[in-house]
Amino acid sequence: MRIRKRFTIVTGTARAYQMQVLKRLLNKARKTHFGKHYRFNDITEQEHVYEEFKKRVPFHNYNQMYNRWWKFCQEGESDVCWPGKVKYFALSSGTSESASKHIPVTDDMIRSVKRAGFKQFYSMQNFDLPSDVFDKGILMLGGTTSLFERGDYYEGDMSGISAKKMPRWLSFLFYKPGQSISARPRWEDRIKLIVRKAPTWNVGIVCGVPAWVQIVFEEIIRYHKVNHIHEIWPNLSLYIHGGVSFEPYRESFKKLLNKPITYIETYMASEGSFGFQARPDTQGIKLILNNGIFYEFVPFNEENFTDEGEIRPEAQSYMIHEVSEEKEYAIVLSTCAGAWRYLIGDVIRFTSVKNGEFVIVGRTKQFLSLCGEHLSVDNMNKAIDEVQRRMNIKVKEFTVAGFVHEGHFAHKWYIGCDDVVDSSALLKLLDETLCQLNDDYAVERTSALPDVLIEVLPSKTFIDFLSYTGKFGAMNKFPRVLKNAQFDEWKMFLREKVRGSEVV
């Protein structure tokens, strides 16, 4: 890293990188069933390749991509959407829908994920980190590395597939909790072993989803009867997080530590590794533009999306050099794993177009807009963060649902908090903060949205629900917005929990 810093790295423009990626993807996939169907050979011969690509290849959501193409990969067919057979399928965490998705993972995608990891490693020279931080262990709280054989392919968590493909020397020297623990299928078993073995490791870096890292830290502190995690790992100085916004967890993490550490956000999903925070004192994630993934950005508005968050066939998409900083965009991917114009479901807002940096503000299906309030996950995270700070409480999880109530619309918040709290005061502050953050919400609160309700629950309730729905594990996140069947399932779960308490 020190040697690399001496050299001036020549870089291309964002457009040049992405056009190069698109042409390579089209050329490599031109003889696949997908490539022949959409005549990739003809597209690459056109003067305006991207415009022709948009004209011929439609947008795809998961069901369209899977039912028409990816399911044949699972049946052992070669050259469906990408050359060769697909050996691995990543199981998504499935926050937006009830069922987990099966995302193809090709050898080219595994190489892409590794390259993204090394790019992030190089970027860490920009941060003020202890010089010996990379001599210490790296605790990765991800999915199990135990993959499940399904005939012609294996399936498992993307983090587990990546860890399984980690070089042996790296795994042996630095990777914690080690393959013997990571291979255990049950997340509960892995937590117990991690907690008990924690004092035997010299951990300097922790990676994982905030909610689960917080749970592991709390369990370690409780089990070993210490005051904070630095009594166990005095050299812990870096936390690499992703999956959800870290802001609602920031105050809780401070109480688990004895000294400040560096937080770096990364952006990885079952579909690939897309970017990371490359500069200190910025909120933006830097998109990796030359790593086998072509990005399109669709303005997230009523012209391009339905009320249910589905993309319209005629939606307008733009390349990276055409975006602006004041708009919100849904991300569309074409990848070296055979995803083509695939709506991943994340909604972003660019903080610096020049640097290709953005923040994730929500999901296409996790915005709450029953009557025009347009409440985003970003609004929710900021409001919860303000409530925690002002009331000096710790909100470990939360979710909100919208429904028809007494002839009008209503929101109901479910707050996971173990502190003694006045729920009426909490709701009042939460509502006031949202009105300040979102003008549309403030307007609707005076008319179509007269009622906002709240229920404060033990934080364990949210974890129990993930277990109840078969989503208990390091890569699963609780949805911030509950809709339709998911909301019905949540209400049923709470009713059963109450009945169980009454029986006891």
Among 319, 344, 365, the domain boundary falls at 365
The amino acid at residue 67 is N
Kindly report the number of other CB atoms within 10 A of residue 442's CB atom: 16
pTM of model > 0.85: no
Kindly report the number of other CB atoms within 10 A of residue 419's CB atom: 13
Write the CATH number for 458. Answer: 3.30.300
User: Rounded to whole angstroms, what are the CA distances from 236 to 6, 143, 258, 368?
Assistant: 28, 22, 10, 38
107-146 pLDDT, tens digit per residue, is 999 999 999 988 998 888 889 898 888 888 999 887 777 7
Residue 296 lies in a domain: yes
Per the omega criterion (within 30 degrees of 0), is the bond before 260 cis?
A: no
How far is Cα 65 from Cα 43, in angstroms, rounded to an integer?
Answer: 20
Among 365, 386, 407, the domain boundary falls at 365
Report pLDDT for 15. 95
β-bridge partners, 346? 363
Please name the residue ranges forming H helices in 174-209.
179-182, 187-197
Report pLDDT for 25. 98
Among 341, 365, 389, the domain boundary falls at 365
User: In terms of domains, do 432 and 310 share one?
Assistant: no
User: In terms of domains, do 461 and 361 share one?
Assistant: no
How far is Cα 216 from Cα 194, in angstroms, rounded to an integer?
Answer: 8
Report pLDDT for 212. 85
Sheet of 88-91, strands arranged across: 102-105, 88-91, 154-156, 148-149
How far is Cα 243 from Cα 266, in angstroms, rounded to an integer?
Answer: 8
User: In terms of domains, do 246 and 129 share one?
Assistant: yes
Report pLDDT for 504. 38
User: In terms of domains, do 494 and 459 share one?
Assistant: yes
User: Rounded to whole angstroms, what are the CA distances from 182 to 114, 117, 207, 331, 452?
Assistant: 19, 19, 14, 31, 43
User: In terms of domains, do 432 and 295 share one?
Assistant: no
Residue 117 lies in a domain: yes
Residue 200 lies in a domain: yes
The DSSP annotation for 375-420 comes to: B-HHHHHHHHHHHHHHHT--EEEEEEEEEEETTEEEEEEEEEE-S-
How far is Cα 197 from Cα 218, in angstroms, rounded to an integer?
Answer: 15
Among 20, 47, 16, 69, which Cα is nearest to 337's? 69
Residue 314 lies in a domain: yes
User: In terms of domains, do 300 and 439 share one?
Assistant: no
User: In terms of domains, do 135 and 276 share one?
Assistant: yes
Residue 341 lies in a domain: yes
Report pLDDT for 460. 92
Residue 370 lies in a domain: no
User: In terms of domains, do 152 and 266 share one?
Assistant: yes
Write the CATH number for 38. Answer: 3.40.50.12780
Domain holding 197, by residue range, is 1-365
Q: Which two tokens stand for residue 388?
A: 């925690």
Report pLDDT for 171. 53
Residue 372 lies in a domain: no
Report pLDDT for 147. 82
Q: What is the mean pLDDT of each run of 10 residues along the chain (504 residues)?
A: 55 91 98 98 95 97 95 95 95 58 94 92 88 87 79 82 64 70 80 94 92 91 97 96 82 91 92 94 91 97 87 96 94 98 94 93 84 86 93 94 88 96 96 93 89 95 89 75 90 84 46
Report pLDDT for 7. 52
User: In terms of domains, do 396 and 355 share one?
Assistant: no
Domain count, the chain: 2
In the DSSP assignment, the letter for residue 311 is: B
Report pLDDT for 95. 47
Residue 371 lies in a domain: no
Strand-pair category, 481-482 with 137-141: unpaired
The residue ranges of DSSP E strands in 238-325, in sequence order, are 238-241, 262-269, 272-276, 285-287, 293-299
User: In terms of domains, do 124 and 206 share one?
Assistant: yes
User: In terms of domains, do 209 and 108 share one?
Assistant: yes
User: In terms of domains, do 76 and 166 share one?
Assistant: yes
